[in-house]
């Protein structure tokens, strides 16, 4: 008869992820040391390895924890909801150094499993941050039903990631607003009407 192992200590998990984020902010990914993470979290390297098999999976878990953002609002205003949804995500995204994102990407790119984890942890969150808003906008007739919904998501999400990883800078709120305007001018049924509607929400 086998006995179940000890349940994971969620407080220790949180301490390890918090220590990892602190070190990523202070020193970057290339200088991330599991020994230092263990020291700051008040644990040991074996305890970390029991949870994450290496530096890249640990960094991805910590970043994913930071990027877990709430769902976007649903005010009935497409421009307001889309802009706020992106800004909520960007507020968390900007706490991750751009060089950390690019270094982790380089470390994960050759391993299909790690690459998939990277996409799920870092690329997918901005898609999820705006997907519900786009779906609601299509449903209420603000966006053309023949618009490429997945393509719009790719464009909105990928520019956030592209700027950080390949240009070493985060997307600003002004940049995000300009991207939203450019896309919606092409996808909206009546873009001036959306602008007029959003003005009543401010």
What lies within 8 Å, CB to CB, of 43 at 6+ separation is 12, 15, 16
- The pLDDT of residue 2 is 40
Rounded Cα gap, residues 13 and 181, in angstroms: 41
Rounded Cα gap, residues 156 and 78, in angstroms: 14
96 touches 144 (CB < 8 A):
no
Residue 1 lies in a domain: no
176 touches 86 (CB < 8 A):
yes
- The pLDDT of residue 3 is 43
The CATH number for 78's domain is: 1.10.357.10
- The pLDDT of residue 29 is 97
Q: Give this prediction's pTM.
A: 0.79
Range of the domain at 134: 70-199
- The pLDDT of residue 116 is 95
Residues of the chain with pLDDT under 70: 1-8, 69, 202
Residue 174 lies in a domain: yes
Q: Specify whether 16 is located in the same domain as 87.
A: no
Residue 4 lies in a domain: no
């Amino acid at each position: 008869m086998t006995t179940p192992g000890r349940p994971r200590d969620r407080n220790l998990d949180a301490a390890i992820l918090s220590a990892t984020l602190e070190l990523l902010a202070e020193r970057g990914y290339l200088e991330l040391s599991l020994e230092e993470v263990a020291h700051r979290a008040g644990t040991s390297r074996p305890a970390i390895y029991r949870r994450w098999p290496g530096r890249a999976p640990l960094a991805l878990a910590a970043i994913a924890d930071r990027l877990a953002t709430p769902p976007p609002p649903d005010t009935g205003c497409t421009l307001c909801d889309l802009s706020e949804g992106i800004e909520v995500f960007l507020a968390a995204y900007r706490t991750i150094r751009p060089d950390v994102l690019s270094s982790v990407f380089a470390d994960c790119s050759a391993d299909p499993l790690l690459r998939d984890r990277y996409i799920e942890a870092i690329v997918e969150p901005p898609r999820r941050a705006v997907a519900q808003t786009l779906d609601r906008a299509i449903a209420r007739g603000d966006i053309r039903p023949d618009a490429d919904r997945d393509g719009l998501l790719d464009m909105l999400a990928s520019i956030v990631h592209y700027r950080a990883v390949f240009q070493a800078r985060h997307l600003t709120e002004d940049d995000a607003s300009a991207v939203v305007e450019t896309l919606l001018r092409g996808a909206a049924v009546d873009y001036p009407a959306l602008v007029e509607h959003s003005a009543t929400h401010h």
